[in-house]
Amino acid sequence: MAVYTEVTDEDLEAFIADFSVGELLSFKGIAEGVENTNYILHTTTGPFILTLYEKRVARGDLPFFLGLMQHLADNDIPCPLPVANGRGELLGELAGRAAALVTFLEGFWARRPRAEHCAQVGQALARLHLAGQDFNLKRDNALGPDGWQALYSRFDERADEIAPDLAQTISRELSELARLWPGDLPEGVIHADLFPDNVFFIGDKLSGLIDFYFACNDFLAYDLAICINAWCFEKDAELNLTKSRALIRGYESVRPLERNEREAMPLLARGAALRFLLTRAYDWLHTPAGAIVKPHDPLAYLRRLRFHRSIPSIASYTGEDT
Amino acid sequence: MAVYTEVTDEDLEAFIADFSVGELLSFKGIAEGVENTNYILHTTTGPFILTLYEKRVARGDLPFFLGLMQHLADNDIPCPLPVANGRGELLGELAGRAAALVTFLEGFWARRPRAEHCAQVGQALARLHLAGQDFNLKRDNALGPDGWQALYSRFDERADEIAPDLAQTISRELSELARLWPGDLPEGVIHADLFPDNVFFIGDKLSGLIDFYFACNDFLAYDLAICINAWCFEKDAELNLTKSRALIRGYESVRPLERNEREAMPLLARGAALRFLLTRAYDWLHTPAGAIVKPHDPLAYLRRLRFHRSIPSIASYTGEDT
C-alpha cells in the first residue's frame, strides 16, 4: 500500500516515449500493491497503470506474468494488457526497477461481496482456466504443497506466539496433507490469489481481474478451492453456503468439475486455507509494529481450515447431493 | 503521502449519487497530500479528485478554500473546480470525514524546474492575485508574521538540536522582522504555498495550480517572495538569478509591482524563508524516526534567509537596476 520508488517527470517522459501511447498528461502514485509500486497515468490515448517491480518479485518470473496477461487478454479474459514498446518488449527499466505499462482496467472491488459477485467470479475463473490451457510458459507454484514445509520452517519456533498449539496443528496438517494430497487432477495456469480485491466490478457486473503475480501451474480445482476460502466465509469464519454454491455453480457453468476434482475439493480447500494461514502467520510475526501495511489475521484461516477438515464432501459447499 | 481514510465502494457510490457526475467506474487512493486523503475517481463523465479532509485541516476553513477554487476557476485560473451536489453544496461527508469532489487537472509538476517554468509561475501567480481581488471571503494568514512567534515558542528550547545557534538566529530574525515588516502593501488573496509540486505542466506549458489549503489574505508581494524561495534556489541554496528574473518578469508582465513592493522584496523574502524554516524545523523535531513522510531539511531555508539578509535590493533577484 505504498509508493516505494519515486519516478521523475523527465525519466517517465523518456520511458513513455518508447511506447505508442501518446503524450503524458499526468501520473500519480497509487496506494495499491503490497509488493510493487504502481502509478496511474493519463496520456492523450487514455489511462494506464505503470508498475515498478520491487525486489520481492523475482525478475525471472516477469516474462511469465506479463506474457500470461497478454495471452489472457488476447483470449477475451478482462485483464490488464501489457503494452509493448517500439522494440516489442513488455518489460523496460525505470528508476532502477524493471517496469511495465499495462492498460487501465475500470472497475472497483466489492468490499462486501454478495452471491451475485461470487457467481461471476466462478465463471471468470473457469474462463481463465480454459484460456490458460494453450499458454506456452510454465511456472511452478512456489506456495504450493511442496513449498509449505519450507515456508513453515522459517517461523515454526514462534508459531505458538500467534495462538496456543498452532505449531502442533500446522505440523499435523502438513504431514496429513502431504500424505493425502491428490496427484492426478487436471492442471493448468491458475491465478492462485483471486481474492475480492483482485476482482473489479462496475455496477455489480464483473469488469476485470488483476494482480497475476502469484499465477503459476497447478491443479485447476485448487484455484477454485482458494476462491472458496477467499469469497465464501463471513467475518466469523462461517461458510456462507449461498456464496459457495454460487461460486461453484458459476465455475461449473463454464467448466464442469471432473469427478476426482469434486471428491478432492474439501482437501484442496484445507490446503488452500493452510497456504494462507502460513503466509499470514509469517507476515504476522515479521511485520514491525507501526508498519504501513497491517498484516492480515492468520487465525481467520485456521478457522477455515478446521471447517474444511470437518466436512465430508463438496456437497457441504454446494448444498446439493453429490 | 498516504491514504489515511479508507472508503468503501458502497459508501462512495452513495456519496457520488448526490453529484451529477455519472456512474462510478473506478477509484484509487493516491499517494499525494500530506494533510488529507485523496482518491482519483473515474466516472462515465471523466476523472475527478475526491478529498477527505483529515483532522489537521480546520473544517471552518473549508468554505474559504473551496469557494476560492470555485471563484478562481470561474475566472479562468486553471485550478480544480469543486463540484456541487444536488443541494448546491461543495462539501459533503464520507467515511466520517468532510469530503469534496473536484475536477481532475491534467499535468504533473516539474521535478527540475527551469527558467521557462518560473516565468509561467510568475504570470499565473499574478493572474491569481488579480482574480482573487473580488473574492468575498477572508481568511487570516495563520502562518504569517503574527503567527511566527507562537509557532517558534512550540519548539524554541530544542532549536539548537537542528543547528548550533539556530535559536539565537531565529530570535533575532523574529524581532527584526517584527520591527521592519511593512504595513502598507497591496493585499489580497494569496496562495501562500506555491511550491513546484503544486504547479502542473504538460509539455513545459503550465496546466494548473493545486493545493489551496494554505490560501489566505496577505500582502500580494509576499506570495511572490514565497515563490522566489520555492523556485529560484539551487540545491546548495544559491540563488539562480536567471530563474528569479524570469519569475519576477513573468509576474510583472501581468501585474507590475508597486514601488513599495519592490523596495520590500528582500525583507518579504527573508520573512518567507523564516516561515518555512519555522514549520520545517518544527516538523523536523516532531517527525518520528521511520515515518512515512520524511521531513524537509529546515537548514535549506536558513541558508536562503541569510542570502536575503545579505542583499541590498530587488535588483539582486532581477539583475536589473532598480
Share of chain B above pLDDT 90, in %: 89
User: For the residues of B223-277, what is the DSSP string, one character each?
Assistant: HHHHHHHHHSB-TTS-B-HHHHHHHHHHHHHHSPPPHHHHHHHHHHHHHHHHHHH
Higher pLDDT, B316 or B1: B316
pLDDT of residue B293: 64
User: For the residues of A241-302, what is the DSSP string, one character each?
Assistant: HHHHHHHHHHHHHHSPPPHHHHHHHHHHHHHHHHHHHHHHHHHHHHSPTT-SSPPPPTHHHH
Mean pLDDT of the A251-259 span: 98
Which residues on chain A are in Cβ contact (under 8 Å) with B113? none
Asked if the model's pLDDT at residue A1 lies above 60, the reply is no
* Contact (CB, 8 A) for A240 and A149: no
Residues B208 and B182 in one domain: yes
**Minimal C-alpha gap between A24 and chain B (Å):** 8
CATH code of A31's domain: 3.30.200.20
Give the count of beta carbons closer than 10 Å to the beta carbon of residue A147: 14
pLDDT of residue A35: 79
Sign of CA dihedral A272, A275, A278, A280: negative
H or E element in which residue A122 lies: helix A115-132
Q: How confident is the model at residue A81 (pLDDT cuts 50, 70, 90)?
A: very high
Residues A124 and A265 in one domain: yes
Give the count of beta carbons closer than 10 Å to the beta carbon of residue B259: 8
The residue assigned the cell 497456504 is: A275
Q: Does B150 touch chain A (CB under 8 A)?
A: no
Sign of CA dihedral A11, A17, A19, A23: positive
Tell me which DSSP letter residue A322 carries. -
Torsion of CA B248, B250, B254, B255, to 10 degrees: 0
Asked if the model's pLDDT at residue B236 lies above 80, the reply is no
Residues B265 and B295 in one domain: yes
Supply B155's cell numbers: 519548539
Give the residue from B13, B30, B50, B211 with the most A CB atoms within 10 Å of its CB, the best one to mutate: B30
**Minimal C-alpha gap between A51 and chain B (Å):** 14
Mean pLDDT of the B23-44 span: 91
Q: How confident is the model at residue A132 (pLDDT cuts 50, 70, 90)?
A: very high
Asked if the model's pLDDT at residue B102 lies above 70, the reply is yes
**Cβ contact (<8 Å) for B27 and A109?**
no
* Contact (CB, 8 A) for B106 and B202: yes
Mean pLDDT of the B170-177 span: 97
Return the minimum-mean-pLDDT range out of A126-140, B69-83, B283-297.
B283-297
**Cβ contact (<8 Å) for B111 and A9?**
yes
Distance CA(A109)–CA(B28), nearest Å, equals 11
**Cβ contact (<8 Å) for B26 and A1?**
no
- Surface-to-core class of residue B264, CB atoms within 10 Å of its CB (0-12 exposed, 13-18 middle, 19+ buried): buried
Residues in chain B: 322
Distance CA(B241)–CA(A236), nearest Å, equals 66
**Cβ contact (<8 Å) for B31 and A29?**
yes
Q: How confident is the model at residue B55 (pLDDT cuts 50, 70, 90)?
A: confident
Domain count, chain A: 2
Residues B185 and B76 in one domain: no
In this structure, is residue B109 part of a structural domain? no
Query: Average pLDDT, whole number, for chain B?
Result: 94
B216 beta partners:
B190
Mean pLDDT of the A86-106 span: 95
Q: What is the pLDDT of residues A180-226, one digit of tens each?
A: 999 999 999 999 999 999 999 998 999 999 999 999 999 999 999 99
Final residue in a domain of this structure, among A103, A138, A171: A103
pLDDT of residue A44: 96
Residues A224 and A156 in one domain: yes
Q: Which of A:212-271 have CB within 8 Å of B? A: none
Distance CA(B218)–CA(A69), nearest Å, equals 55
Share of chain A above pLDDT 90, in %: 89
Sign of CA dihedral A102, A108, A113, A115: negative
Q: What is the pLDDT of residues A274-322, one digit of tens each?
A: 999 999 999 999 887 766 667 788 999 999 999 999 999 999 999 986 5
Mean pLDDT of the A233-257 span: 95
Mean pLDDT of the A43-49 span: 97
Residues B56 and B77 in one domain: yes
pLDDT of residue A32: 77
CB-based contacts of A172-178 (< 8 A; 24+ apart in sequence): A173/A270, A173/A274, A173/A305, A174/A148, A174/A149, A174/A274, A177/A145, A177/A148, A177/A267, A177/A270, A177/A271, A177/A274, A178/A145, A178/A149
Mean pLDDT of the B37-57 span: 94
Mean pLDDT of the A52-74 span: 94
**Cβ contact (<8 Å) for B23 and A108?**
no
* Contact (CB, 8 A) for B284 and B156: no
Q: Does A23 touch chain B (CB under 8 A)?
A: yes
Q: How confident is the model at residue B322 (pLDDT cuts 50, 70, 90)?
A: low
* Contact (CB, 8 A) for A184 and A178: no
Assembly ipTM: 0.90
Closest chain A residue by Cα to residue B289: A290
pLDDT of residue A290: 65
Residues B41 and B160 in one domain: no
In this structure, is residue A4 part of a structural domain? no
In this structure, is residue A2 part of a structural domain? no
Among B27, B105, B110, whose Cβ lies nearest the Cβ of A9? Answer: B110
In this structure, is residue A199 part of a structural domain? yes
Residues B142 and B21 in one domain: no
Instruction: Find the domain containing A185 and state its range.
Output: 115-318
**Minimal C-alpha gap between A107 and chain B (Å):** 5
In this structure, is residue B110 part of a structural domain? no
Amino acid at B165: D
Mean pLDDT of the B195-205 span: 96
Residues B23 and B151 in one domain: no
Helix-then-strand count for chain A, H and E = 10, 9
| Total-model pTM | 0.92
Final residue in a domain of this structure, among B103, B136, B159: B103
**Cβ contact (<8 Å) for A27 and B202?**
no
In this structure, is residue A110 part of a structural domain? no
Residues B99 and B124 in one domain: no
Supply A141's cell numbers: 507454484
In this structure, is residue B309 part of a structural domain? yes
Q: Does B9 touch chain A (CB under 8 A)?
A: yes
Supply B224's cell numbers: 511572490
Mean pLDDT of the A172-177 span: 97
Query: Average pLDDT, whole number, for chain A?
Result: 94
Residues B279 and B158 in one domain: yes
Among A30, A106, A107, whose Cβ lies nearest the Cβ of B30? Answer: A30
SS (H, E, C) A176-208: HHHHHCCCCCCEEEECCCCCHHHEEEECCEEEE
Q: Which of B183, B112, B110, B177 is nearest to B147 (CA)?
A: B177
CATH code of A291's domain: 3.90.1200.10
Residues A209 and A250 in one domain: yes
Asked if the model's pLDDT at residue B290 lies above 70, the reply is no
* Contact (CB, 8 A) for A148 and A278: yes
pLDDT of residue A320: 85
In this structure, is residue A108 part of a structural domain? no
Residues in chain A: 322
Q: How confident is the model at residue B7 (pLDDT cuts 50, 70, 90)?
A: very high
Q: What is the pLDDT of residues B136-166, one digit of tens each?
A: 999 999 999 999 999 999 999 999 999 999 9
| Terminal Cα-to-Cα distance of chain B (whole angstroms) | 43
Asked if the model's pLDDT at residue B321 lies above 80, the reply is no
